[in-house]
Amino acid sequence: MKIIAITGSYRKGGVIDQVVDEILAAAEANGATTSRVFLTEARIEFCTNCRNCTRQDGMKRGVCRIDDNMGKILDEIEEADGLVLASPVNFGSVTAVMKRFLERLVCYAYWPWGRKIPKVRNRRRDKRALLVTSSAAPAFLVRMQAGSTGMLKQAANLLGAKTTGIMSIGFAATMEKPVLTERTRARARALGRDLAKTA
C-alpha cells in the first residue's frame, strides 16, 4: 500500500518534519511504500477563482488551467491508499503554503457559475487519512478550536479519505532545534503503523 504525506511546515528538522518522519518510518516498517511532499519546495500557484475546473461535470477532478506541480501531486494522492496531512498552526490556521494547497482542491467540487454552493464530486472515502498539527498553544486548545484540524479534515474528505487519526502536538515552539518527547514519538509511530495496516 502507498502512503503519501503532504507537509506544510516551513522548516526541515522541525516538529512536523520529525513527527512525519516517525509516522512514515513506522508505516514502512509495516509494509507501506511512502512518499512525501514538502509544500515549501513544490511549485503551487494560488487558485485564481476562474472556476474552470469546477465547471467540468463528472466524478473526476476538474482540470486546472494552471501549469504547475499541483496536477502531479494530486495524481500521486489519488494513487495512494493513505494520506498524511500535516501543518503547524500559524495565526490560528494552517500555514499559508498549506492553505494555498487546500484552496486548489476546489477541483474536486462541481460548482458551475449560477450554482450557489459547491457540490463534492465523489463522496466515497476509500483512503485513510492522518491529520497532524503542531502549535505553541497546548494541544487541547487547538483541538477545541478545531480550525486547523477542521480544514485538514475537509481536505481529506475532498481527497476521498476518511480521517482515522488526529495528532495535535502542543508547546511546539520552545526550541530552535526541537527534540520530540518519547511519548510523541511513540504516538506518531503507533499512528503510522495503524495507517499502514488500515489503508
Distances (CA, A) of 36 to 16, 51, 85, 110: 12, 28, 10, 28
Instruction: Give 16 or 98: the residue with its C-beta nearer to ligand FMN.
Output: 16
**φ and ψ at residue 38, rounded to 5 degrees:** -90, 110
Least distance in angstroms from the C-beta of 142 to ligand FMN:
7
Least distance in angstroms from the C-beta of 174 to ligand FMN:
9
Least distance in angstroms from the C-beta of 192 to ligand FMN:
17
Instruction: Give 44 or 89: the residue with its C-beta nearer to ligand FMN.
Output: 89
Residue nearest to ligand FMN (CB): 14
CA pair distance 170, 190, nearest whole angstrom: 18
Grid cell digits, residue 169 = 502536538
Least distance in angstroms from the C-beta of 131 to ligand FMN:
14
Instruction: Give 160 or 170: the residue with its C-beta nearer to ligand FMN.
Output: 170
Binding site for ligand FMN (CB under 6 A): 9-11, 14-17, 88-92, 134-137, 172-173, 178
Grid cell digits, residue 96 = 499559508
Least distance in angstroms from the C-beta of 155 to ligand FMN:
18
Least distance in angstroms from the C-beta of 119 to ligand FMN:
32
Instruction: Give 99 or 127: the residue with its C-beta nearer to ligand FMN.
Output: 99
Q: Which residues have C-beta within 8 Å of that of residue 189, sequence separation ≥ 6?
A: 22, 23, 25, 26
Instruction: Give 121 or 187: the residue with its C-beta nearer to ligand FMN.
Output: 187
User: CB atoms < 10 A from the CB of 157, how many?
Assistant: 18
Instruction: Give 15 or 26: the residue with its C-beta nearer to ligand FMN.
Output: 15
